[in-house]
Amino acid sequence: MIKATTFKGRRVAVFGLGRTGVSAALSLQAGGAEVWAWDDRDAARDAAQSEGVDIQDLSAADWSGFDELVLSPGVPHDLPAPHWTAVAATAADVPIICDIEILAREINARPAGDRPKVIAITGTNGKSTTTALIGHILKTIGRDAQIGGNIGRGVLDLDRMHAGTHYVIELSSYQLERTISLRADAAIFLNLSPDHLDRHGSMEAYGVAKERIFANQTKDDAIIVGVDDDYGRALTTRLKAANNRRIIPVSSRRALGHGVCSLGGPLMDRTGRSGRVVCDLTDAKALDGIHNAQNAAAAYAAVASLGVEPRPIGQAILSFPGLAHRMERVGQDGRIRYVNDSKATNAEAARQAIASYQDIFWIAGGVPKEGGITSLLDLKDHIRKAYLIGDAAADFATTLKDAGVDHKVSGTLKMAVLCATHDALESGVEHPVVMLSPACASFDQYANFEVRGDAFRREVQSLMELFANHRAAKEQAQANKAKGSAA
């Protein structure tokens, strides 16, 4: 745990007692703050209290006595409607922050030579894979790498910092809009596409929140921007015009005169006077797809910006085992490959997976995002048949029917896996892919995308066992028949 010593003697309200809220409350308490922690859910309060969190009813509090409110990232302070704690804090001029801001202040309070390195990653899609890949690279080359933020552990639950620590932090727009003091040694902005617009109000506001990742950087720090989308290209142009900081474009769709790119295999570093091949991504274990080539380019650029030599970075990239729920291969039986892409909670994320394979038996649906799956119809030739689940099933069926895409409303994930497997076996396709890539949130049927992905994995494993038992029984029957004939 990181003790929030910069808050010693201050009175701090904490609302939202999930993973990040509990770690923030415990960090503040350990650092000497007076904490009033609360959650609207009885179960969350009870669980937090059992871990040692000081529970105080914020609805009965005098908000003029608080120095700050640590508000869970998932709780709105403005749009679509401010939470009651945010209303109370704003009325009392109490600043609203999140756990990332607490970490930033703890880092900044240390002597410059004793601060950890910070690599921060944001973007609409690809954040988790890139974050995990950077952590893997650093650990593989022997660095102390701690991964947290919007992935894995809350940042205040990470191990204590020292000069050799590398904090690899995935940052959502929700976290960035409440972070003021963070300075990243390397900041990655992968892409931007419509998402969370109910929270931010517009694409412009969404982009502004994401761009806070570059705040407080100096000319000694690295800015890494994906330039495979219009927003990233425009952002790079603006950043170059605004300052003389170190900007490294990354791409998997275009050759770059300056930057890091990969077009069809070789990962090229063109940040120096001459280009060099870092590795061949066709040899990577778990980086299928053009989008993962950009993720690899961004990860390489970030680690290389810290002074690490290219060769060990390239070797580590090739050994990356992949990320659960993101184009994760969870099984293969004969010709059929099963891919768990449950983390694809919007159409743009699903696009990346669909574009990476042919002959897909696609499982999609859940709580739909704005625009549905209309933007994916240019990839319909990749889809043999779609199997629709959850709240979005009826609307998605209409979209696919109008586009001439074969589909079936399966309702449940279990039924979708069974139907997709049956159709894949009957199709005669050489390498069919049964893939869960929902293009939707999970909250209609599952608590989160991880639970949904785990359910898909269990269904696939059950099928694998069924197939294995069937083969074993068939082989035994053949052996018994042969034995009988011989007798």
Question: What DSSP state is assigned to residue 323?
Answer: B
Chain-centroid distance of CA 386 in Å reads: 25
129 is in an annotated binding site: yes
φ, ψ dihedrals at 117, nearest 5°? -80, 140
Give the closest residue to 344 by CA, choosing from 369, 361, 380: 369
Q: Is the CB of residue 350 less than 8 Å from the CB of residue 438? A: yes
Residue 124 marked ligand-binding:
yes
The answer to whether 123 is a known ligand-binding residue is yes
Report the C-alpha gap between 152 and 439 in whole angstroms. Answer: 22
- Annotated binding residue at 390? no
Tell which phi-psi region holds residue 308, choosing left (phi > 0), alpha (psi between -120 and 50) or beta: beta
322 annotated to bind ligand = no
Reading phi first (left if > 0) and then psi (alpha if -120 to 50, else beta), residue 35 is in beta
Question: Is there a binding annotation on residue 128?
Answer: yes
Query: Which residues lie across from 69 on neighbouring strands?
Result: 13, 96
User: Rounded to a whole number, what is the distance in angstroms from the first to the last CA of the chain?
Assistant: 71
State the Cα–Cα distance between residues 12 and 36, nearest whole angstrom.
Answer: 6
Question: In angstroms, how far is CA 127 from the centroid of its own chain?
Answer: 4
Contacts (Cβ under 8 Å, ≥6 apart) of 121: 127, 130, 131, 134, 168, 169, 170, 171, 187, 188, 190, 298, 302
Binding site for ATP, by residue number, is 123-129
**Binding site, residues?**
123-129
